[in-house]
Amino acid sequence: MSNGGWEYSEEGDLDPDLTEEAGYGEWEQPDRRWVGSLFRIITTLLLIALIGSVLLSVVSGRRSSPPPEQVPNSGGRLTRPAPTAIPELRPGQSEELMADYNKPLPQATPETQEFWDGLKREELRIQQCQDCQQHYFYPRPFCPNCHSTNVEWITASGKGTLETFVINHRAMGGFADEAPYVIAVVTLDEGPRMMTNLVNVEADPEHVAANMAVEIVYDAVTDEVTLPKFQPAS
Ligand SMILES: [Zn+2]
């Protein structure tokens, strides 16, 4: 039967004679023995690799030290190491301060050292760009406004306004005993904003309001660390 130049056998396969003529004879029965050989080679290699890795794990398991002491799992909660004992205090050290302060403490860096040192002297040290005159906080070796590195430390007035605040009633950890307390953002008269606590005021919206005038209080929480807090301006 004719079908536009192609002829099909009754089974629907290409007629071997026609395909031979058309040059497709080689396609009909390609030599695929190499596929089987390749499969056998790959299987053998995988088997060798598997046996090798099992043997290796058995040998290394015997050599390695016993596993570290198991920490009992407390139902998905984070397990903490046992608290270390509070170090012995030297005579004259403020035992109350060192033993009682159980909240996180700041770690000074080269960029912030002057800020923390200033607080210990009861000075609020911030930086000012000598090119664009802008004051800024937190401490950085360059001006966030114009990127100049011509910056200097100055002592701020310690006066500002309460930009915004939240009264925390659900405090955690070392802060729990102090709730409710005021977490505040204060805008210094020099311009920069600081996150801080508003203290010496009842933590109640009746007594705390945005835009109220505030002034700094130096809170020496340990012998080494003084924190800047604010209170209603006198
Ligand atoms: Zn600048």
Q: Is there a contact between 120 and 226 (Cβ–Cβ < 8 Å)?
A: yes
CA 195 to chain CA centroid, Å, is 20
CA–centroid distance, 135 to ligand 1, in Å, is: 8
Neighbours of ion ligand 1 (CB under 5 A): 129, 131-132, 143, 145-146, 148
CA–centroid distance, 216 to ligand 1, in Å, is: 26
Helix ranges restricted to H, the chain: 16-22, 25-28, 33-63, 95-100, 113-120
The two structure tokens encoding residue 200: 């010496």
The reported pLDDT for the residue numbered 52 is 75
Q: Say how many Å lie between the first and final Cα of the chain, rounded.
A: 111
- The whole-angstrom separation of Cα 175 and Cα 103 is 7
CA 21 to chain CA centroid, Å, is 72
Per-residue pLDDT of the chain (234 residues; tens, 9 = 90+): 444 455 554 555 555 555 455 555 455 555 667 777 877 888 888 878 877 776 677 666 555 544 444 444 444 454 455 554 544 545 444 444 555 789 999 999 999 999 999 999 999 999 999 999 999 999 999 999 999 999 999 999 999 999 999 999 999 999 998 999 999 999 999 999 999 999 999 999 999 999 999 999 999 999 999 999 999 998
The reported pLDDT for the residue numbered 1 is 46
CA–centroid distance, 119 to ligand 1, in Å, is: 24
The reported pLDDT for the residue numbered 110 is 97
Beta-carbon contacts of 155 under 8 Å, excluding residues fewer than 6 positions away, are 118, 123, 124, 125
Give one word for 39, left, alpha or beta, with left for phi > 0 and alpha for psi -120 to 50. alpha
Question: Which one-letter amino acid corresponds to residue 194?
Answer: M
